[in-house]
């Protein structure tokens, strides 16, 4: 019975977060979840957006997962985002090329980029974090396209290890 209660709680939390993400297209959203819940949350977002797409008869929303822990420096971030967003290889070769590739998407593309361990994103280069979030949240959208970034953390201070 406890497992069922936990599952119902998770679905409610996930639904609330998915509605918030849907309502803030193109702007970063912060969600607090335990690390063990992130994969289930990503799957929930896919189902949530799938229901909306079916009702509205629109192209599918791509939901992608990036590891913030793997993105502590700019070179690591460019490589990780390039791979996850399936950008051309040269997007990983420098900031200007990366942003060019980010903007070279179909105008109707709709993406939700979930960043696990969001506090760790560019922790080694904090000046670049805001610049990256702005670049990710600002694709061409003249035909209804958008990209929303969801920063997911567990609410613990960055860099704190949990033993157990």
For the segment 79-94, what is each residue's pLDDT rounded down to a tens digit? 999 999 999 999 999 9
What tens digit of pLDDT does each residue of 112-147 get? 999 999 999 999 888 899 999 988 886 556 667 788
- H helix runs in the chain, sequence order: 2-23, 38-56, 74-84, 95-103, 126-136
- Does CATH place domain 2-153 in 3.40.50.300? yes
pTM: 0.82
- The angle that helices 95-103 and 74-84 make with each other, rounded to 10 degrees, is 20
């Amino acid at each position: 019975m406890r497992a069922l209660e936990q599952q119902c709680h998770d679905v409610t939390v996930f639904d609330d977060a998915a509605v918030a993400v849907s309502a803030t297209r193109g702007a970063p959203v912060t969600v607090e979840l335990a690390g063990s819940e992130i994969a289930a949350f990503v799957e929930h977002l896919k189902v949530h957006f799938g229901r909306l797409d079916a009702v509205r008869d629109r192209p599918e929303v791509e939901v992608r997962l990036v590891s913030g822990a793997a993105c502590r420096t700019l070179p690591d971030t460019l490589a990780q985002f390039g791979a996850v967003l399936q950008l051309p290889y040269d997007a990983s070769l420098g900031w200007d090329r990366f942003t060019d590739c980010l903007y070279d998407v179909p105008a109707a593309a709709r993406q939700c980029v979930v960043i696990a361990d969001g506090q760790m994103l560019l922790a080694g280069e904090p000046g670049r974090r805001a610049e990256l979030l702005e670049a990710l949240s600002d694709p061409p959208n003249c035909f209804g396209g958008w990209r929303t970034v969801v920063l997911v953390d567990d609410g613990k201070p960055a860099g704190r290890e949990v033993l157990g």
